[in-house]
Structure formats: structure tokens, C-alpha cells
Structure 1
Amino acid sequence: MAGSTGSLLAFGIFVLLLAGWLGQKYGLPPPPPKIAGIDLGTTYSSIGIYHAVTGDTIILADDLGKKSVPSVVAFLPNGTVIIGTRAVEQQEHNPKRTIYDAKRFIGRNFEKDNQDFLADQKRYPFTIKLDSDGKAFFEIPLDVGVKNVYPEEIGALIIEYLKSAAAKHLGVTLGQVVISCPAEFNEKQRNFTAKAAEIAEMEVRRVISEPTAAALAYGLHKKQGVENVVVVDLGGGTLDVSVLWLQGGVFVTQSMAGNNRLGGQDFNERVQKHIIEKIAEKFGKTINDKEDIQQIRLEVEKGKIRLTSVPSTTISLNLKTVGKWKYDLTRDEFEKLNEDLLKSIELPIAAALEDANLDTADVDEIVLVGGSTQVPAVRKIVGRFFKKSANYGVDPELAVVTGASVQAGVIGGGWPLQVAAMELPSKRRKRHFFTEQQKENEQDRATTTTKEL
């Protein structure tokens, strides 16, 4: 009986392999995608699918052509919901109803005197409160009263937006998902990430850690001789460094370190502050107008992106306060303004290696994730630390969603036949590092909030 069962299993595998080969050779129609891959990020979110037969992944854009959609949800006074880029564009005029960074609070419980939570209450322009169980929620003032919204509900609105964008491309609505989360998330945080997808009426097939997804995007699970992988994830607001051990398609997180107050937004703030000071020197006026501040913020972001490919750029402004004005920003000046922040990237990398008992020479692959790793200075710092270049083959902003989509395609039975990657749960805790200025700022915010309560 056992021999018969083994023969049937072998025959079944042979049929699947033959079907995949025939599909590729003769152009048979591939099975339609069943499962989406979603990166529900702190700053940006994306959705993708795995293309059967070719093995390619496609990241789907929204109606504005954005593959990376801002993780921002706004409520108008009448209750209308706006998501993504459109929400960002109206943020300065509607700060108390525009929610961002919701992922920082998902699946977490706080004591009322928690210093981190008190600092967050001061940091954000919208109102964050705790319910009787210590769960954070956002209080939204509307024309008809107050609406309380939880972090997972904000996540669900973003996922619904992404799902709708995908449906317009594919002509079908995807009802299943592989969704990513930070490696440091505990079981409760992972469950609430899954809950966000379930609220958006998507069945969760797997919650995959972001570093593992990034490694999948680069195909490291299929590469011979790769065991130790370092993933440096620098996004809009956080730095996460993970050391993975890879063996036979199994990923184990060996260590984690980072700075959850360091990212591209912090680089932008330094440049924005510098430009406002230059305007004050030139015109003797202080920029207080919200539309002017929003314009400077947006133009600084565009300038930072241009500086990833050119040594200098011009930031052109047309402000209510001072009229038209231009400022020439060089890459060298950008790096000098952010010198201490850039230098601080090295500390969590060193700590993650130390916790994993590895030297730089033991690292087989370095993977860069997050839009801020496109900053030349960041790549230079990482390369100098490891004495070799990191992987650049995949768009770092889309690496996580690409890996989640690969896993989605494998689970959904995409061709050619592949073996799904597996993750073993990590018992390691993430080590957090902050610059001295960040520590002072956090303490000031928490102290001020305490006095106001």
C-alpha cells in the first residue's frame, strides 16, 4: 500500500512538472492569479501579483500611476474617505482628520503613562487616545460627531484601495492575500495585520516577514552557497536591520536591530528647516503659511529623489509669503545636513551582526530595502561597512511587495512549479538605537504631554 501511494505521489508530481513544461513550450493559457501580495508599509503600501508561466511579478499601480501608494487615510468633515496621494495633498488643510503611521500602533497595548505613547500624542497633529484595554485609536472630528478609528481599520481602508486598483488592471477581484509585516512583530501584531486584510474582505494565506520577502524578491532562496543574509530596510520613517540564516528554503531570523525614528522623512526635515532658514535670511520673513510649508515639503522630497542620480538640483518655489524663489541644493550639502543621521545607520548594523555572532566576512548577501536606500550616501555607508556592494537589482521600494507576490504565486500554484519558502518564528528581540538628538526630542515631547494631561 505504501509503495502504491508513493508511486501515485511521484506520478502526480510528474504530471505537474509536465504541465508546466508544456505551458511554457506551447504557450498554453496560464491559470489566472488567485492571490495578491501586499506590502502594508508604515509610509507606503503596494500590491502585486505573480505571473504564471513566465515567473514574473507585476506590481500594480493605482489610477494615478503610483505603484507605491502613501499609507495615508484622510476623512473629510462629511465623512468622505480619501486615500493615498490625494490624502497627502490635502493634509496641511485637514491635519486633525488625516491619519498616517497607523502601522506603528497596530496590535499594540499601552499603559496610560507609557513614555513612547505620550511622545507620540505630542508628535502627531491628529488625536490618538487609548481605550479601556490600552489599545490606541484615532479620534476623528466630523460634522455629525466624532468617529473613532482603530489602526487595523486604517490598514483595511488602504488594503481595500489597493485591491480596487488591482481589480481595474486584472478585471477580477482578488480575494486572497499574502501580506508582509516587520520581522519584529509579535504574534498579536501579526494577527492584527491579518485582521486588517480580513476587514477588507481578503482571506489571508500567509503573513510573511518583510526581510524574508525581500530575500525572495532577489531569488536568494534559489541561490547556491547563500546562508547568511543581512537586510537593511530604510524607509520613510524607520530603519530595520535583520540577519537571516537561510538553509534549504527555510528562513530563520537570527537578530534584529534598528531605529524606529529614522528614515527619509527625517532627511527631508533637515533640508526643509535649512531652506526655511535661508528664506528668513534672504527676505527677513518666517514661513508660517501651511500651504507654503506643504509646498516646501513636497519640493524637498522631489529634490532628494533627483539627487540620487545627479550631483545637484534646483528647488523652485512660488510661495505666498515671499513669491518666487529658487535654491540650488547639492548632494554634498544634503549629506552634510544629515551627517549625524547617516552615520547612525552603522550602529544597528553592527549590533545585529554582534547578536548573530557574525563578522562582516561571514555575510554572503546584503539586501537593501526601502526608498531611502537609494540615497547614494546610504549605499556608500553600507558598502564601506561590509567592504562589498549590496544587491541593487530590485527596486528597493518594491522589494517587499515583490517577494510577497512571489510567495503568493507559489502558494497559488503558479507555473513553473516552485517550493514555497518557510519561516521559523524568531525568539530574538529587536534592539533599538537612537541618536542623542532624537533621545532629547522624545523626552521633551513626553514631558510636555505629561504636563498638559
Structure 2
Amino acid sequence: MGSVILALFLAGYLGQQYLPPPKPRVVGLDLGTTYCSVGVFHPGVGDVEVIADEAGRKSVPSAVSFTPTRVLVGHEAQDLADSNPQNTVYDAKRFIGKVFGEDLLKQESARYPFQVINNNGSAEFLVTTNHTFTVSPEFIGSRLLLKLKEMAEKQLGVPIQKAVISVPAEFDERQRNYTIRAANLAGLEILRVINEPTAAAMAYGLHKVDVFNVLVVDLGGGTLDVSLLNKQGGMFITRAMAGNNKLGGQDFSQRLLQHMMDQVRLTFGIAATLKEDIHRLRQHAEEAKLNLTLRPSVSIQVPLRLHAAETPGAPKPPVVFKMTITREVFEELNADLFQKILAPIQTVLTEGRLEREEVDEIVLVGGSTRIPRIRQLISQFFGKEPNTSVDPDLAVVMGVAIQAGIMGGSWPLQVSAIEIPNRHLRKVNFN
């Protein structure tokens, strides 16, 4: 008997060392407000892979556009946001599973070019192509998740039917269930729902090290969420949450876009009103914002058809708008918005009864936390540098992929990070 057991152990060891590891069958999904991603944990080697699309991009815009002939998802949909604004739906995560009164829904939907209607307390989006119809937020989510599923299947070469998905910590049971429903519509069985701050902490490896108080600052394209986590062994407790659901990278880009449009008016004596001109300026504003995280200044050149709006019957050659934007100008344009980031941080410390020096790790999530001035403000507030060892754009999906590996029984993962729900928790929102 002893020799048989020894032989089995030896066979298992040799298998782990020399046989190719099995393909992962459970994926991790980050269905973000602005971008979404999919990742897997590779058994045996212990590596997390964030799966890229055919163009090598690891994040897919959370947008779906409807045309008379096609339904476009991700980058293709984002490209139609200016030319087909009424039928291009984004930020659907803000509406999924949420119960609205008439006044609140009007207030929430006022910022969008597409039409949002109230169906017995649930939000739906009105789409008009060859005919008029409505789609639900979970349907929009399902199209995005189907795209992620197809990306994973193409990369891994196996069918994917099971997943772990992340949600904001403040999502209630209804919102979580509707998120699961979106995944089910995409042909996915959800094995577990994990809070985004906990997923981020796992990506940074904080479920393994001697860290007790973790503050997660999640600043993406459209929202700011701050969470204070307390770790006890392998368990995470969310002690406090605060945020601003109307503050994010889109707002910083919009300030820069408005500045560029003002400069166009000053340079040429005419405002940029054509949709294609505004679209080009918006693209360059977004690109300049990203480049300014790495460089002190950027130069832009944008061809514009300004005078075509004045004389539509007589074609005019395009003009070229040239401008240099410095990091200092960008920071001045957004100074008041950057300061707003500190208010939720102060609130979660107060609610969690914690002094700032008692925070062991400050974790950054979301692409907007790359902005140097934002990192500087957070660093000055705490008197120490935040943890920047993980790509903030991919922190959540990497953590969810680790949890997916755990749920799939991947070796060498052995201990799951457990979340303890705090029934008395409330989120303080700043607008």
C-alpha cells in the first residue's frame, strides 16, 4: 500500500513538472463602467494573463452601438459615439439592477445623448434604427461579456462556460443578481461574485502578506470609489466606502476638450460645431491626457472642416489646428476636480475610525490614478507613496482572475480571500 501511495505522489509530481498544464476553464471578468477586461490564472506556473483582443488591447470600451444592420461592441462602438450618439449606449453599469423614481432617472440620464426611459422603476435604453425598440442594461452588459468570452475562447482554444465576476462593493443584492443575469445571457455561469476593492487587493498580493488596513482608490473613466478594507487572516471586511459617481477621467478629458475648442475659436474666429470636428478634437484630447502622464508637454495637430458649416454648398479645404499642451495647463484646468478626490478618502477614514498613518497600503485602481498630480495629492495626504506595483487599469481583472483560478482548483493556489459582508455598511456619495 505504501509503495502504491508513493507511486501516486511521484506520478503527480512528475506530471506537474513535465506535462503541459491543463487549460484554465474559469475566467475572471471585470465589467467596468468605462472599460471591461477578461483574465485567467494559468495552473501550475501561477501566472495571471489578461487576454487581449485581436489588436493587442487588454481593455474593451464598455459601449454598444446599434445600426440598421449590425450591433457593434467595444472599440467599434466607441468609434460611433459621435456619429451615432442616440444609438450608442455606454455607462450601462450605472443603471443595472437599480430601482429609479422618475425624477432620479431624469437626473441620471440628463448627461447622455441616448434616451433612457423608466419601465416600472427599471431603466431601459430607447434605440431607433429600422424600427424603435428598448434594451435593458443587462442586455448591454451581456453583449460586452459575450465579447470577452469570445476573446478568451480564441486565446485559450477551449469553450468557456464558467466565470467569476467583480462588482462595486456598494452593489446591493438586486444589482449583483442583474449582473449575474447579464452573464447568463452571454452563456456564462457565475461561480462567484467578488467586490472590486477585494479583487484589487488580491492583485497586489495583499491577501498573502502581513497587511491589515488597505485603502483602495478606484478612479476610472466615470466614477471614483474609495474603500477601506480590514484584513483578518485570509478574510477581508469592508469597513467604509465613499465616492463620487460623477467624477472620473471623462471629466478631465472634457475640461481639456473645452480648452481646445476655446483655442480653436480664438485662432480661427469660428467655433467647432461639426460632429466630425468635435470627434477629432475629443480623440486628441483623450490622447493628450494619456501622454501627459508620461511627458511634460504634448503637441497636437488636428485637421478641421470649420468653414464647411458656414457654406455647405461650397467645399472648403480643411484647416489645421496646432497647439502645445503642457502638464501644468492640464493640471490647472482640472485643479478643482483633483481636489475632490480627497473628500471621499477623508470620509472613509472617519467612518472606519482610522488615522491616516494607520493605513498599511494604499492601492490604486483605474487608469486615471496614473495622472501624476493625483498620485502626488494622495502621497502628500498620507505622507507615503501609494503601491504602484500593479497596472491600475488591470488590477481588478487580475484579482478576479486569481479568484477564478481558486474556484477552478488551480495549483498552487490554496487559500481564497474571503469577503465578510458588512450589513451596516453605507456608501457616502459626493457629487
Which amino acid is 1:129 matched to? I
Q: 1:417 Cα deviation (Å)?
A: 3.6
Report the secondary structure of 2:103's partner residue: coil
Matched ranges for 1:254-403 at <5 A: 254-321=239-306, 323-403=319-399
1:230 aligned residue: 215
How far apart are the structure 1 equivalents of 2:268 and 2:8?
A: 72
Report the secondary structure of 2:110's partner residue: helix
Q: 1:64 Cα deviation (Å)?
A: 2.4
1:443 aligned residue: none
Matched ranges for 1:120-269 at <5 A: 120-131=108-119, 133-143=120-130, 145-224=131-210, 226-269=211-254
Matched ranges for 1:397-412 at <5 A: 397-412=393-408
Which one has a larger percent helix, Structure 1 or Structure 2?
Answer: 1
Q: 1:91 Cα deviation (Å)?
A: 1.5
The answer as to whether partners of 1:233 and 1:368 remain within 8 angstroms in 2 is yes
TM-score normalized by structure 1?
Answer: 0.89
Matched ranges for 1:68-79 at <5 A: 68-78=59-69
The answer as to whether partners of 2:405 and 2:413 remain within 8 angstroms in 1 is no
How far apart are the structure 1 equivalents of 2:10 and 2:176?
A: 38
How far apart are the structure 1 equivalents of 2:327 and 2:9?
A: 52
RMSD: 1.8
1:444 aligned residue: none
1:37 aligned residue: 28
How far apart are the structure 1 equivalents of 2:72 and 2:32?
A: 17
Q: 1:16 Cα deviation (Å)?
A: 11
Report the secondary structure of 1:221's partner residue: coil
What residue ranges of structure 2 are gaps of 5+ in the alignment? Answer: 307-317
The answer as to whether partners of 2:200 and 2:365 remain within 8 angstroms in 1 is yes
Which amino acid is 2:296 matched to? P
How far apart are the structure 2 equivalents of 1:249 and 1:20?
A: 28
2:56 aligned residue: 65
Q: 1:29 Cα deviation (Å)?
A: 2.0
Q: 1:95 is matched with which residue: 85, 88, 94? A: 85
How far apart are the structure 2 equivalents of 1:327 and 1:21?
A: 62
The answer as to whether partners of 2:40 and 2:50 remain within 8 angstroms in 1 is yes
Which amino acid is 2:294 matched to? S
How far apart are the structure 2 equivalents of 1:273 and 1:30?
A: 52
Mark the CA change 1:214 to 1:137 in structure 2 (over 3 Å): closer, same or farther: same
Q: 1:168 Cα deviation (Å)?
A: 1.2
Q: 1:30 Cα deviation (Å)?
A: 1.4
The answer as to whether partners of 2:201 and 2:363 remain within 8 angstroms in 1 is yes
The answer as to whether partners of 1:17 and 1:417 remain within 8 angstroms in 2 is no
Q: 1:179 Cα deviation (Å)?
A: 0.3
Instruction: Say if 2:95 is the partner of 1:105.
Output: yes
1:431 aligned residue: 428
Report the secondary structure of 2:102's partner residue: coil
Q: 1:188 Cα deviation (Å)?
A: 0.7
The answer as to whether partners of 2:97 and 2:176 remain within 8 angstroms in 1 is yes
Which amino acid is 2:40 matched to? I
Q: 1:350 Cα deviation (Å)?
A: 0.3
Q: 1:166 Cα deviation (Å)?
A: 1.2
How far apart are the structure 1 equivalents of 2:161 and 2:117?
A: 33
* % identical aligned pairs: 49
Q: How many residues align?
A: 416
How far apart are the structure 2 equivalents of 1:83 and 1:394?
A: 27
Which amino acid is 2:169 matched to? A
How far apart are the structure 1 equivalents of 2:29 and 2:93?
A: 14
Q: 1:431 Cα deviation (Å)?
A: 0.3
Report the secondary structure of 1:123's partner residue: coil
Which amino acid is 2:254 matched to? E
How far apart are the structure 2 equivalents of 1:299 and 1:340?
A: 23
How far apart are the structure 2 equivalents of 1:266 and 1:129?
A: 24
How far apart are the structure 2 equivalents of 1:409 and 1:16?
A: 24
Mark the CA change 1:166 to 1:34 in structure 2 (over 3 Å): closer, same or farther: same
Q: 1:242 Cα deviation (Å)?
A: 0.1
TM-score normalized by structure 2?
Answer: 0.94
Report the secondary structure of 1:92's partner residue: coil
The answer as to whether partners of 2:23 and 2:158 remain within 8 angstroms in 1 is no
Q: 1:172 Cα deviation (Å)?
A: 1.3
How far apart are the structure 2 equivalents of 1:279 and 1:187?
A: 48
Q: 2:42 is matched with which residue: 33, 48, 51? A: 51
How far apart are the structure 2 equivalents of 1:270 and 1:201?
A: 40
The answer as to whether partners of 1:242 and 1:256 remain within 8 angstroms in 2 is yes
Q: 1:18 Cα deviation (Å)?
A: 7.6
What per-residue deviation string (whole Å, max 9, x for no partner) do you get for residues 158-180 of structure 1? 00011111111111121101000
